[in-house]
Amino acid sequence: MRLRHIHLPFCSAQALYPPYSLASRVQEHLRRQLLDFKDKAATSDTAAAATTAAAASHSHSGSSHDGGLPPPPPPPTLLSFTPLPAFTLGRRQTAPLSESEMARLQEPLHVTTSSSSTNTTNITPLPVSIVNSPRGGLTTYHGPGQTVLWPVLDLRSPHHKQFTVRCYSRLLEDTTIATLRSMFGLAAFTTADPGVWVRRPHLLLSGQHVREDGEPGAAAAEAKIAALGVHLRRHVSALGTAINVAMPSADVVDEQRNPWARIVACGLEGKVVTSVAGELNAASRASNRQQQQQQEHQITDDGGAVNNATPPPSLENGGHVAAERAVAASWAEELARRIGVEGVDVVPEKEVVSLLADLVREAAAVDGDGGGDGSGATAEEQDFVARMTEQLLVSSSS
């Protein structure tokens, strides 16, 4: 068995991102496939046991029954995407948001959209949604600059490694830590707080005072680089992790540009959120400053200046768009290895868009018949699918 990887397409240059609700719709479809298979398998097992008992009591007939091979189970699947801006409210968010809080969160977010092919960037205002999530915790953010990774697995499946709830949470953490290390050389880790974190040695190099836990002011010694959330239904997983690839740094206090400035992320007071680009760029600047200081006091044996080390690659000016996709691919490979399957099968973009179109069409039809439960396709979902379908037609004809 292999891991199926469904990556929802997006186009930063056109500010075209899948709505969070559409990703949730795909996840529920995949989850329903696994749950339906488990129901049918349980029914088949019961029927097979009854058939075996009946055959044993009538063994004198000499006949046998071959019900054929059971259908294969749906493969374990990773759903990855970079969504339109969305604040998600966890189950601990018991108090309803006030009208002013809702209005503040839903103010358009001014996002840097970029094209790696033309090396251009623009500031684009994007709509912000507020979504209730089945995960634990309080409020967090998902949107451009992030790679969201949702595995849909049966934790009790005999076709790959099996996991307890705690072991599955550790699987998400370890897969994220390994990906950050292999792709960017970042030494991430876990703490008593949820998520994946990084230490910030560049603050020491730059001469900033680093606070200990609970100490007010100055800069935080640790920062959260990835959020985790888990929801299980009969051992079938939903949600997962979100890695901050290229997002505004913690010192950007403008709420129009920085979504983290609008909330206390996951309810963790005094904690800082960071991103891969932020850590790499800050560490590079601090390292260059340190080397420059050393050059003032050191010369080489031949009298020349000490050479600066090559800084890590930048994720700015469109580079983060490719990085977000690469993070998803690398995370998928790491997950496949850790759950013990043979590899990864990436679903072609044309098939992904076709699946999205089918799901949106079905939801719209059910809602139109009056049999919906309020989960009908939104205008944003329909617009995204229409624009993506148009893009595929244009690219296939060119």
Write the single-letter amino acid at 114: S
pLDDT at position 174 = 98
Residue 67 has pLDDT above 70, yes or no: no
Q: What tokens does 10 get?
A: 């997006």
pLDDT of 210-249, one tens digit each?
A: 444 444 444 457 899 999 999 999 999 999 999 999 988 7
Of 266, 323, 341, 360, the active-site residue reads 266
Beta partners for residue 139, in sequence order = 89
**What's this model's pTM, rounded to 2 decimal places?**
0.83
- The pLDDT, as a whole number, for residue 133 is 81
pLDDT greater than 50 at residue 71:
yes
CB contact at 8 A, 179 and 196 = no
Mean pLDDT of 342-357: 97
Both tokens assigned to 200 = 């910030």
Confidence check: pLDDT of 120 > 80: no
Q: Higher pLDDT residue, 202 or 124?
A: 124
Residue 244's DSSP bridge partners are 146
pLDDT of residue 351: 97
The pLDDT tens digits of the residues spanning 132-178 come to: 887 767 788 999 999 999 999 999 999 999 999 999 999 999 999 99
Q: What pLDDT, in 10s, does the model give residues 282-307? A: 766 665 655 665 555 554 444 333 33
pLDDT of residue 217: 43
pLDDT (mean) for 259-275: 79
22-36 in b/e form (b: 16+ CB < 10 A) is: bbbbbbebbbebbbe
Contact 144, 85 (CB under 8 A): yes
Confidence tier at 45 by pLDDT (50, 70, 90): low
Phi, psi dihedrals of residue 191, rounded to the nearest 5° = -135, -170
State residue 225's pLDDT score.
96
3-state secondary structure of 353: helix
How much is the pLDDT for 61? Answer: 45
Q: Between 219 and 270, where is the model more confident?
A: 270
Separation of alpha carbons 186 and 396, rounded Å: 39
pLDDT-derived band at 357 (thresholds 50, 70, 90) equals very high
Concerning whether 11 is annotated as a catalytic residue, the answer is no
Across residues 66-74, what is the average pLDDT? 75
Query: What pLDDT, on a 0 to 100 scale, did the predictor assign at position 251?
Result: 76
Higher pLDDT, residue 386 or 268 = 386
pLDDT of 252 reads 84
What is the rounded average pLDDT of the residues 121-135?
Answer: 88
Neighbours of 350 (CB within 10 A): 13
pLDDT in tens, 300-336: 444 333 333 333 445 555 567 889 999 999 999 999 9
* Angstrom distance (rounded) from CA 151 to CA 326: 17
Give the whole-angstrom CA distance, residue 27 versus residue 83: 14
- Amino acid of residue 199: R
- Which range in 13-22, 201-210, 212-221 is most confidently predicted, on average pLDDT? 13-22
**How large a percentage of the chain has pLDDT more than 90?**
55
Q: Which pLDDT score, from 0 to 100, does residue 313 have?
A: 44
Query: Distance between the two ends of the chain, CA-based, in angstroms?
Result: 36
Q: Quick one: average pLDDT of 86-94?
A: 79
Mean pLDDT rounded to a whole number for the chain: 82
Check pLDDT > 70 for residue 267. Answer: no
